[in-house]
Amino acid sequence: MEKEVHEQYEYARRRLRQKKVLYFHFVLFLLGSLFLFVANRFFGFGEGTNQNWCIWIITAWLFIFILHFIKVYITDRFMNKKWEREQIDRLVALQQKRISQLESKINEDTENKI
C-alpha cells in the first residue's frame, strides 16, 4: 500500500511541477510579448526592417506555448504511468497469446509426424 501512496504522491508532484512551469511560461510569454511590442512600436527597434517583426516572433512563441499547453493538459494527462502500465500489460498478454499459439502449433506438428 505504501508503494501505491508513494506513486500517487510522485505523480501529483510531477503534475504540479508541469503546471507550475506552464504558468511561468505563460507569464514569460505575456511579458516578453509586451516588451517586443513596446520595443517595436515606441522605441523604433528594428526600423528599416519589416515593421511587423514582433508579430511574427509573438506568433511563433504563441505556437510553442500552445504545444506546451497541449503536452501538459492533454498528452501527459492521458498518457501517464497508469496508461503505460496498461499498454505494457496488453502487449505482454498479446505476446503470451502468440507464444501459446506457436507452442500449440509445434505440438500439433510434432504429433502429426509421429
Model confidence pLDDT, tens digit, residues 63-87: 999 999 999 988 887 777 778 888 8
d(CA 45, CA 98): 66
pLDDT of residue 48: 65
**Could you identify the residue written with the cell 516578453?**
32
In the chain, the amino acid numbered 26 is: F
Q: How far apart are the first and last CA of the chain?
A: 53
CB count within 10 Å of CB 82 equals 11
What is the per-residue pLDDT for 26?
96
Q: Domain locations in the chain?
A: 1-79, 80-114
Q: Which ranges of the chain have pLDDT less than 50?
A: none
Task: Report pLDDT for 50.
Answer: 66
Q: What is the pTM of this model?
A: 0.65
With vertex at residue 36, the alpha carbon angle to CA 30 and CA 38, rounded to the nearest 5 degrees, is: 100
Q: Which of 61, 51, 58 has the alpha carbon at shortest distance from 36?
A: 58
pLDDT, position 107: 85
